[in-house]
Structure 1
């Protein structure tokens, strides 16, 4: 089978689509380095500061709500073009916003782009992949997200350092404004560079063959499959296999949602999407410095700890890319989430003990927790959501489950400061550990192992 697959071509297509994940990660994480400067410049109250941080998540909820419909109506490729344009517009307007209201609108536009790519990028990769490589290829998207997170931390640090040293000598007043006097503009605006790159490299990828078949464009679908499968017979077999589950017109088949098993798949996907956000990962990524400061670290040390957390997140995701198709989705979840429970409880016990242990202990526990999370739920979630649903409703079903995920992300972003204040760090991490239990139960009880199965085989499982 391997001799009949153009794996290099599939990797190229997957890498291009994964650039959307990098933009997702960068736009999400870059905000952390701008909060203090923006708050000072615009005199933000606590409520306004929260609105500035959370407005992109509101845009993401809107983006994920419409992403599936755009993907079904215009195709996966054209929808990625739309997302690239939204990222670029957001970056430029952020860099030149004169008022807080303009900055918030610009961030919300970028948030819409985040929501769109969070659905379309992994779905495109899934639909172009072959069964034996699909897990690791879709995981490239999550890897790109983590690289985007780390890239944002590093760019924030580099631009801040540059603004304090060499930026005073910039000749043009607008460049001095962006990279020296108000460097937060540069931090937010830099994302326009990968957005432009993303836009132009999208010209070199084809449309998803499954979407083309859904729209009765069989000739075009066949041409794409012949690039993926080096053998004409293999391409024809794949074409027949996809066609075997496509009946009727190329329109959305909402009646599929009336089938109990398909509706069950959507509800299960929504459940693991929102539960995954309440197991602590985004609380650590967004509020890591705040949590580290609660154990007595200085601001510089807490920022250093956060960079180390981001680095471990990237390296572990690289490992997950290589093993997800060998170990299997469910086994990774069992091992990783069990480890998350253990280290969340150890972190909670650390705070209960009154920080009586050396700081290196809490760092090790945090890094171990991030390792367990990155190798399991973070790597697996988008793989599962991109392969669980029938072709005719895949985009809409992913929008529904993605909406659940982004609502969870927004809620945990708003609730974490309240949890830390009212439950304390110990109670907060006990709560995160508790939320791992229903997640494990749902995966064990209701989600089938999809490793090595074609999308059509998975579709038949849910329908029949």
Structure 2
């Protein structure tokens, strides 16, 4: 019963887990402030060009894919909580290693190819942490909180991702403020990377004070501990009922834990949710925002201001999603968001074809970004944490998250080439993907609002027997 819930406890464990989301955003965005310094300190002195620079800046994405792939094994073998502790350790090692890659083996101020490769290794280590966190944090929150508020609490993780990006933008600005470019290129960029060690250490310490999820504990036949956690979250009466449902799913006719135990459709839906979240072009808008605005005629200072405006829009509309996801449902928000994204991208595409540059471009990009942040941004993660049956959740989430990071890498890396061919066609492509994402949700994605994770299992049981 709702009156018996420990609301403070629920929010406390959610906030601790969501620090993993903050580190996800922090780690992926910290490179923005150090980009030019890395180029000046490690790339240019070696006589390397744009290809090496681009590979270095995006190397963390390789780790993200690896982290997504291994997340299923870690979550199943070691548990959700221990997997997050391991991710925290990776964030900490990456932060300090990226800040001082010369440690033990190299001399400061003497860039070598081996030093550049070592820096990339540390960034990949951080990327593995991001990949793990991106899969396990929503899984952890989804498996431990009550069904009727699961949407908003898993969505809170997306808010923390965006918040982490904003925090590191201000941290980078604070470190570089009033300093010479020489100091920033020699020392400042190191502080930017090292600053991530603080939230990483906090995350790792706090994780020792939160429980393992009751679903994982039940899978490991530790029903007493599972009931203890469920009781602290839901109250004694509701806890017994939930544990009985969990045990029922774990002893159901589906004995196997193979990936396709419930048919292929559930895996296809999970993968397509991830792929569409990237193919609508959001990370192009986030990664290349200043460049987009500059290419459309904005001065550099104006483009940075417009990027800040987008950042505020991201936060406001992510909060809107948190407030409405458990009231309106997942499908309506996704479909409305897809329509809004299509309007925004087709608008930008039309303006690009017409060579029209001005405030109208910013308006359409804001429409697009706002639509994403109140729908696909947080709700994709909510659904990925919800739709998979208990027995295959770890490995199925791993497949979906790995597909998401691969799609992210593909879309981000092809954007410059597509823009050289045609800006109008590039944004038009993202508009088409937005339309297709709406059709996909309408036809294939089940509504999960208010359903327990065990009730969702019956949906795929029926589909698998058809």
TM normalised by structure 2 equals 0.92
- Give the Å deviation of 1:182: 2.9
Of 71, 78, 81 in structure 1, the residue corresponding to residue 85 of structure 2 is 81
Match of residue 332 from structure 2: 331
Cα displacement (A) at 1:252: 9.1
Aligned partner of 1:173 in structure 2 is none
Q: Tell me the CA shift for residue 321 of structure 1.
A: 0.6
Return 5+ residue gaps in structure 1 as ranges. Answer: 169-176
Please name the residue that 2:368 is paired with: 369
Q: Tell me how far apart the structure 2 counterparts of residues 51 and 256 of structure 1 sit (CA, whole Å).
A: 33
Q: Deviation per CA, 1:64-93, whole angstroms, max 9, x where unpaired?
A: 111111011111111100000000000000
Q: Secondary structure at the match of 1:297?
A: coil
Question: Cα distance 1:93–1:255, how it changes in 2: closer, same or farther (>3 A)?
Answer: closer
Q: Spell out, residue by residue over 1:214-255, the C-alpha distance to the aligned partner (whole angstroms, 9 max, x if none).
A: 00001111111111122x222111111111111189x99334
2:40 & 2:209 partners in 1: Cα distance? 44
1:96-111 matches, within 5 Å, as 96-98=100-102, 99-111=115-127
What is the aligned-residue RMSD (CA, Å)? 1.8
Residue equivalent to 2:233: 228
Is 1:324–1:332's contact at 8 Å kept on the other side of the alignment? yes
Cross-structure match for 2:26: 26
**Alpha-carbon contact 1:23-1:195 (below 8 Å) kept:** yes
Match of 2:444 in 1: 446
Q: Distance in 2 between matches of 1:297 and 1:255?
A: 53
For the 8 Å contact 1:163–1:180, the answer to whether it is kept is: no
Distance change >3 Å, CA 377–CA 248, structure 1 → 2:
closer
Relative distance call for 1:461 and 1:427 in structure 2 (3 A) is same
Residue 391 of structure 2 corresponds to 392
The answer on whether the counterparts of 2:38 and 2:185 sit within 8 Å (CA) in structure 1 is no
SS at match of 1:163: coil
Whether the aligned pair in 2 keeps the contact of 1:273 and 1:405 (CA below 8 Å) is yes
Structure 2 distance, partners of 1:428, 1:158, is 35
SS of structure 1 residue aligned to 2:250: coil
CA apart distance, 1:305: 1.4
Q: Does 1:10 align with 2:10?
A: yes
* Correspondent of 1:145 among 153, 161, 166: 161
8 A contact 2:258–2:392 mirrored in 1: no
The alignment covers a number of residue pairs equal to 446
Structure 2 Cα separation of the partners of residues 79 and 236 of structure 1: 27
Cα contact 1:252–1:393 (8 A) shared by 2 = no
**Aligned ranges for residues 251-262 of structure 1 at < 5 Å?**
253-255=256-258, 257-260=260-263
Flag structure 2 segments of 5+ consecutive residues without an equivalent.
Answer: 103-114
In the other structure, the counterpart of 2:66 is 62
Q: Which moved more, 1:3-12 or 1:51-60?
A: 3-12
**Separation of aligned partners in 1, 2:387 and 2:153:** 16
For residues 228 and 262 of structure 2, what CA distance do their matches in structure 1 show?
33
Hey, what's the Cα distance between the residues in 1 that align with 2:255 and 2:460? 17
For residues 238-274 of structure 1, what are the alpha-carbon distances to aligned partners after superposition, in whole Å with 9 as ceiling and x for unaligned?
111111111189x9933461442xx211111101211
- The corresponding residue for 1:285 is 286
Question: What is aligned with 1:213?
Answer: 218
C-alpha contact (below 8 Å) 1:63/1:112 kept by paired residues = yes
Paired with 1:389 and 1:364, the residues of 2 have a C-alpha distance of: 37
Q: Once structures 1 and 2 are overlaid, which stretch shifts more, 407-416 or 301-310?
A: 301-310
Q: Is residue 402 of structure 1 aligned with residue 401 of structure 2? A: yes
Equivalent in the alignment of 2:108? none
Aligned position for 2:110: none
- Once the two structures are TM-superposed, the CA of residue 29 in structure 1 deviates from its matched residue by 1.3
Q: Distance in 2 between matches of 1:255 and 1:114?
A: 26
Q: Give the conservation status (yes or no) of the 8 Å contact 1:337–1:372.
A: yes
Structure-2 separation of matches of 1:182 and 1:363: 36
Between the aligned partners of 1:296 and 1:255, the Cα distance in structure 2 is 53
Q: Structure 1 stretch 145-154 or stretch 284-293: which is displaced more?
A: 145-154
1:187 aligned to which of 175, 188, 192: 192
Selected match of 2:427 from 413, 416, 429: 429
- Rate the CA distance shift 1:293–1:256 in 2: closer, same or farther, 3 A: closer
Structure 1 residue 181: Cα displacement: 3.4
Relative to structure 1, is the Cα distance of residues 346 and 248 closer, same or farther in structure 2, using a 3 angstrom cutoff?
A: closer
Between the aligned partners of 1:104 and 1:303, the Cα distance in structure 2 is: 27
- The verdict on how the C-alpha distance between 1:57 and 1:355 changes in structure 2, with shifts beyond 3 A counting, is same
Instruction: Please give the secondary structure, in 2, of the residue aligned with 1:112.
Output: helix
What are the superposed Cα offsets for residues 359-389 of structure 1, whole Å, 9 maximum, x if unpaired? 3222222112111010010121000000001
- Alpha-carbon distance in structure 2 between the residues aligned to 1:159 and 1:387: 40
Partners of 2:402 and 2:20 lie apart in 1 by: 18
